[in-house]
Amino acid sequence: MRIAAALQDRFIRWALRVRPPEPAPVILTQRRVYVLPTRAGIGYAASLLVMLLGAMNYNLSLGYALTFLLAGLGVIAILHTFRNLAHLSLAPGRVEPVFAGDSARFTLLLHNARADERRQVQLRLAGGMSGIVDVPAHSSAAARLAVPALARGWLALPRVTLDTVWPLGLIRAWAYAVPDMRCLVYPRPTGTAVPPPPTFGGRAGNAARNPQGSEDFLALRGHQLADPPRHVAWKTAARLGADAPLMTKQYADPAAQTVWLAWDVLPTAMPVEERLSWLTRWVLDAHAAGLSWGLRLPGSQLAPAGGEAHLHACLRRLALHGKE
């Protein structure tokens, strides 16, 4: 079994014709497409041989005619099966980042430049995942392949085998391709309940003592003599009339919502991957809470910010920690 596997790997490396990964687009030229009979094709050929021997033994003219007609049909099937795959081109599609433990979904775009449709083209991965697509004439089709994402970091698309047995199932044509595609795998967030991030931004304490703040409007409250005149809601007072009590604007300070997610605050004995899982959970929770957060890792730091772009920047930094 080991010898057979080694010979198969050697053949695949030779059949690729190029050193993987391959730059886009990957074109399946004639030299990269191989054909062999299927089990049904071998049975078909054996049946033709028996028919030929019977026709020769009994000198049957119609037997010769039928045998040669079916043999010609088999030869034509070889050509059509080969053409169904030859000169297809592959290009990388969109790949969304995933968390470790999920399945990365790679999208491959198959383009058909010929005037005839390519039917029942199967794409298979070494792990057994497969998909079947039809590619219309002068058009493209998308094939989506799922690959288990077992560890954080970059996950490269494994070798793809494209094959077809269309139209009669007697002949199998196949080719190999290794498109240059990668998926970023984020650390798996810990599933256990974790305490909130313990380190807060520099002005958080001041903001707690100063409920007026200076940034975003929060609410209105009754006016007090110590309130600064610029915080009085003069427009509200004018609308309510001279007899209405004065109201003061309250502001929320965004600095009070800033949190630092730091590597060093976690226990020293905690393994690296577990630390990254905790930090990933903190990042997701801070984003869900609408906070502004920063990330501190050994040798790198991301300044406090918020939003989707900052979320993915932090997750990317966690995914590639120690791997760049």
Note the pLDDT tens digit of each residue in 118-164.
999 999 987 666 789 999 999 999 999 999 999 999 999 999 999 99
Tokens matching residue 108: 């491959």
Residue that is written with structure tokens 């399945």 in the block: 103
* Cβ-contact 131, 123 below 8 angstroms: yes
Burial category of 63 from C-beta neighbours within 10 Å (exposed 0-12, middle 13-18, buried 19 and up): middle
144 - beta bridge partners? 107
Note the pLDDT tens digit of each residue in 58-79.
988 999 999 999 999 999 999 9
Note the pLDDT tens digit of each residue in 12-51.
777 776 777 888 899 999 999 999 999 999 999 999 999 9
Tell me the domain boundaries of the chain.
Answer: 89-186, 211-252
- Reply yes or no on whether the pLDDT at 297 is more than 70: yes
Note the pLDDT tens digit of each residue in 161-193.
999 999 999 999 999 999 999 999 999 998 765
Query: Which phi and psi (to 5°) does residue 160 adopt?
Result: -105, 130
Q: How confident is the model at residue 197 (pLDDT cuts 50, 70, 90)?
A: low
CA pair distance 279, 269, nearest whole angstrom = 15
Amino acid at 193: A
89-186: what fold?
Immunoglobulin-like (2.60.40)
CA pair distance 154, 321, nearest whole angstrom = 11
What b/e string do you get for 139-167 counting C-beta neighbours within 10 Å, with b at 16 or more?
eebebebebebeebbebbbbbbbbbbbbe
- The candidate with the shortest Cα–Cα distance to 110, out of 122, 95, 128, is 122
Note the pLDDT tens digit of each residue in 73-101.
999 999 999 999 999 999 999 999 999 99
CA pair distance 122, 165, nearest whole angstrom = 9
What average pLDDT is seen over the chain?
Answer: 84
Torsion of Cα atoms, 208 then 225 then 218 then 213, to 10°:
-40
- Reply yes or no on whether the pLDDT at 319 is more than 80: yes
Tokens matching residue 34: 């191989």
**200: left (phi > 0), else alpha (psi -120 to 50), else beta?**
beta
Under DSSP, the state recorded for 141 is E
